[in-house]
Every structure is written in C-alpha cells, then in structure tokens.
Amino acid sequence: MPYVNIKVTDEGVTKEQKIQLIAGVTRLLQDVLGKDPATTVVVIDEVNTDNWGIHGQQVTELRKRSKPAGP
C-alpha cells in the first residue's frame, strides 16, 4: 500500500489542482511500479508560509521582499 505525502505552501492551491495531483500521483505509481490504485493513499498537506523555510529564511518574509513595489 503506497503512501504519498505532498506538502505545499498554502498559497491558493485549488480543489481542481489537488484532484489532478492525487490522480496523477496514483497513475504514476500504477504505471511505474505496478501499484494498485485501490490501495494507494495520497495526502496533501498545506503548510502556512510562516512554517516553511528556504535558505534559512521564512517563506512569508521572502514573498514580501519579492513583491514588486506598488505605485
């Protein structure tokens, strides 16, 4: 029974995109490893950007700095 855990930041991933991720990962495991889709579990965790760090920095702060300056 394969178990796949996908972690993404909580920045607007839509229900439709989640459906595509679950179906795509399930298909991939079936195609590549011959795993039964009926026993394949896919979990998507959405992580707040305050709780996600890259290069020693909080993603929330990185996003603030990368936004273009307004008029």
**Whole-structure pTM value:** 0.83
State residue 6's pLDDT score: 98
Q: Are 47 and 54 in contact (CB under 8 A)?
A: no
Residue 11 lies in a domain: yes
Q: How many domains does the chain have?
A: 1
Q: Is residue 57 part of a domain?
A: yes
d(C-alpha 3, C-alpha 39), whole Å: 9
| CATH number of the domain within which 37 lies | 3.30.429.10
Q: Which domain holds residue 27?
A: 3-66
pLDDT mean across residues, the chain: 94
pLDDT of residue 17: 98
68 is catalytic: no
Catalytic residue among 2, 37, 68, 71: 2
Q: Is residue 38 part of a domain?
A: yes
Residue 27 inside a domain? The answer is: yes
The average pLDDT across 23-49 equals 98
